[in-house]
Amino acid sequence: MKAFKNKGLIWDNLYNFSLYYEVIGVLKNAIKYKSEYLELTIGMFLEELIGKVVDMQTMYETEKFEEAVKERTLRLQRSIEITIQAIAAMVEVRDPYSVGHQKRVGDLAMAIASQMGLSELRLEGIKMAGSVHDLGKIHVPVEILSKPGKLSQIEFDIIKTHPQVGFDLLKHIEFPWPIAQMVLQHHEMMDGSGYPQGLKGEKIMLEARILAVADVVEAMSSHRPYRPALGIEKALGKINKNKGRLYDHEVVDACLKIFEQGYRLPED
């Protein structure tokens, strides 16, 4: 009986297919002749009719289901974006020198990933990870974050805890992407000289290799408490010089290409 739930819609469609007239015609003939042949015909016809009604109902329910899934996905995506923005804001409240840094890294990383042909879904994930990659800096004292001079070894060691702290804060949030791992690995270098795990080459996930390039390019292009902005040319020169040693050569090539094609870091 479930198939007849939406009678109005179903009968409208039947009308469109002229099945309604066929039903009336067959029933009229059946009443007139009451023949066995017609009873058989009616039986077959009704079977076919019920089949069509069930097909239409399935189509209708599938459409409804798809709409509901789309709606829920959009709502979930909006919640994730709001969560990410709130997390990003937490870092920037404590570290005003890096306001906009994470957003720009996310934007650049996504542009590089797009140039490399990554899927739409992975692009979204990498943008999100870029937007929160320095979350762990909330564990670093403000005096260190905004220190105008050179950092001591101890201070640098404290700064170096931020990928692990970021990972620990994010690891239980169920994002559709491995955001926590991307954050954990964003300071790893191709030759194993990075931190915190000293991962080498392809042991570092591709998203993190992209973030590493986007991070250094953005950081060198912007003003920092300990130095003025060095400019995009110097930043691109640095990644080119260290291509294959510190930074993934394909990622570097994609980054150089997009700047060549006119890409510019977004303003604050």
State the minimum distance, in angstroms, from the CB of residue 195 to Fe ion.
10
SS (H, E, C) 124-174: HHHHHHHHHCCHHHHHCCHHHHCCCCCCCHHHHHHHCCHHHHHHHHHCCCC
* Helix, strand, coil share of the chain (percent; to 5): 70, 0, 30
Which of 122, 186 has the CB closer to Fe ion? 186
State the minimum distance, in angstroms, from the CB of residue 105 to Fe ion.
9
Which of 13, 161 has the CB closer to Fe ion? 161
> Which residue's Cβ has the minimum distance to Fe ion?
134
Which of 134, 218 has the CB closer to Fe ion? 134
91-97, long-range: CB within 8 Å, 24+ apart, which pairs?
A: 91/132, 91/134, 91/135, 91/137, 91/138, 94/137, 94/138, 94/142, 94/145, 95/134, 95/137, 95/142, 95/145, 95/146, 96/146, 97/145, 97/146, 97/223, 97/224, 97/225
Cβ neighbour number for residue 67 with a 10 Å cutoff: 10
CA distances, 161 to each of 131, 145, 197 (Å) = 18, 13, 11
Which of 95, 124 has the CB closer to Fe ion? 95
247 backbone dihedrals φ, ψ, rounded to 5°: -115, 145
Contact 85, 132 (CB under 8 A): no
Nearest to 126 by CA among 116, 137, 139, 136: 116
State the minimum distance, in angstroms, from the CB of residue 137 to Fe ion.
7
Residue 224 region, left (φ>0) first, then alpha (ψ -120 to 50), else beta? beta
Which of 107, 134 has the CB closer to Fe ion? 134
Which of 95, 134 has the CB closer to Fe ion? 134
State the minimum distance, in angstroms, from the CB of residue 163 to Fe ion.
7
Task: List residues binding Fe ion (CB under 5 A).
Answer: 134
State the minimum distance, in angstroms, from the CB of residue 138 to Fe ion.
12
Which of 53, 170 has the CB closer to Fe ion? 170
State the minimum distance, in angstroms, from the CB of residue 133 to Fe ion.
6
